[in-house]
Structure 1
Amino acid sequence: MRFSGKTAVITGGGTGIGAAVARRIKSEGGNVALVGRRKEPLQAVAEEIGAAIFQADAADTPSMKAAVAGIAERFGGVDILIANAGGHGVGPTISMSDETWDLSVRLNLNTAFVSARECLPQLIERKGNIVVLASIAGLFAGPDAAGYVTMKHACIGLAKSLARDYGRKGVRTNTVCPGWVTTAMADEQMEMLVEKHGLKSIEEAYALVTKDVPLGRPATAEDVSNAVCFLASNEASMINGAVLTVDGGAGTVDLPTLAFVE
């Protein structure tokens, strides 16, 4: 019951990693406030675990401000922010439109910034913490994903700034960088590989993208939630400004040596 008496705000909490974190925190005694733009997935998770939903756009200041005020009124305050909302931003720089770039900024970076800013007064008061969901795309560059790669790098910078600026006020901020995770969003990308390579299933596509990962498989949403919930708990009370990869060892691979692998 690591989260007994604590209230966690989870942006993008209706699907994938956000939903898995919500289940874990709720199962360990926490109050869970799910924030997202689409009501239906939020409602499905809320009904499953007994969470509260606050339909809001985490990148929109008035929307997020109202959601945080509602959460504080219902639960008494905010102890944990899981800045999980994110989105795509794919395409090469040379052909990326201003609209696609701006959307990538909004979905990946602005959601983290605005939600953190609006939660900070209560997090300072209650000595809470923030976990920002970035990606190993925030550490390395994937092909034709300029918007996503840039914004995930920026999310790590934001988290480090928060860790530095508010650590003395009792607020810890850390970042989790997953590799491939078997979520609905990743499934869409696997479908593209199925079509491109004539594969039989998305399982074969996941096997293809993880063939050089030392653990040889993608993460599950639960794998990532384990790391997120550790950082959000008092067990990580001396961890601030850390970047934790949940990638099966992908980031340890020396790419120029792959030619020597049988």
Structure 2
Amino acid sequence: MRFSKKTALITGGGTGIGAAVARRIRREGGNVVLVGRRPEPLRAVADEIGATVITTDAADGIAMRKALETVVETFGGLDILIANAGGHGVGPTISMSDETWDLAVRLNLNTAFVSARESLPYLIKNKGNIVVLASIAGLFAGPDAAGYVTMKHACIGLAKSLARDYGRKGVRTNTVCPGWVTTDMADEQMQMIVEKFRLKSIEEAYALVTKDVPLGRPASTEDVANAVCFLASSDASMINGAILTVDGGAGTVDLPTLAFAEC
């Protein structure tokens, strides 16, 4: 019961990693507040685990300020922010529109920045912590994904700044960088692989994109939630400014030596 008497706010909490983190924190005794723009998935998770729903845009400062006021009125404070909301920003730079770029900024970076800024007064008071969900795209560059890659790199920079600036005030900030995770969003990308390579299933597509990952499989949302909840708990009380990859070892692979694996 690591989160007994603790309150956690999770942006993008209605699906995927956010929902898995919500389930884990609730199972370990914490109060959970789910924030997102789509009420239906938020309500489905809330009904399942007994969480509070605030339907709002995490990138909207005024809306998040009001959301935090509601959290404090309901639970008396805030202990944990899981800045999980995100989205795509894909496409080659040469043809990316201003609108696509701006959306990548808003969905990935602004949601993390605004939610952190509005949460900090309450986290300082309770000596709480922040976990930012980035991606291994924040450490490396995938093809034709300039918006997403750039914003995930920026999320890591934001987390480092928060760790440095607010560690002395008792607020820890850490980053989790997943590789491929079996979510609805990733399934959509796997469908593109299925069609391109004429595969029989999404499972075959996941196998293809992880064939050079040392563990040879994608992560589950629970795998990522385990890492997030460790960093958010008192078990990680001396960890601040860390980047924890949940990628099956993908980041350890020396790309120029891949050909030798077939020898």
Q: TM-score by structure 2 length? A: 0.99
Aligned-partner residue type, residue 258 of structure 1: L
Q: Take 1:195 and 1:61, find their aligned partners in 2: how far apart are those partners?
A: 41
CA–CA separation in structure 2 for the residues paired with 1:247 and 1:209: 12
2:167 corresponds to which letter in structure 1?
G
* Aligned mates of 2:57, 2:66 — CA distance in 1: 10
| 2:196 alignment partner, SS class | helix
RMSD: 0.3
Partner SS, residue 181 of structure 2:
coil
Residue matched to 1:6? 6
Q: List per-residue Cα deviations over 1:108-159 (Å, max 9, x = no partner).
A: 0000000000000000000000000000000000000000000000000000
- The alpha carbon displacement at 1:103 in A equals 0.1
Residue 96 of structure 2 corresponds to residue 96 of structure 1: yes
Tell me the distance in 2 between the aligned counterparts of 1:34 and 1:181. Answer: 21
Q: Deviations over 1:47-98 (max 9, x none)?
A: 0000000111000111111111111110111100000000000001000000
Aligned to 2:194: 194
SS in 1 for 2:81: strand
Partner of 1:184: 184
Q: How many pairs are equivalent?
A: 262
Amino acid at match of 1:128: G
Match of 1:217 in 2: 217
Q: For residue 259 of structure 2, what is the aligned residue in structure 1?
A: 259
TM-score (norm 1): 1.00
- Counterparts of 1:30 and 1:12 in 2: how far apart (Å)? 18
Counterpart of 1:152 in structure 2 is 152
CA distance in 2, matches of 1:244, 1:212: 20
Residue 212 of structure 1 deviates from its aligned partner by: 0.1
- Work out the CA distance in 2 between the residues paired with 1:144 and 1:35: 30
Q: Percent identity of the aligned residues?
A: 84
Equivalent position of 1:59 in the other structure: 59
Give 1:21 deviation, angstroms: 0.1
Extract unaligned runs of 5+ from structure 2: none
Any runs of at least 4 consecutive aligned residues in structure 1 with deviations exceeding 3 A, and if so which?
none
Does the residue aligned with 1:206 lie in a helix, a strand or coil? helix
Task: Give the match's secondary structure for 1:189.
Answer: helix
In 1, Cα distance between the equivalents of 2:237 and 2:225? 18
Residue number in structure 2 paired with 1:109: 109
Deviation at 1:254, TM superposition (A): 0.1
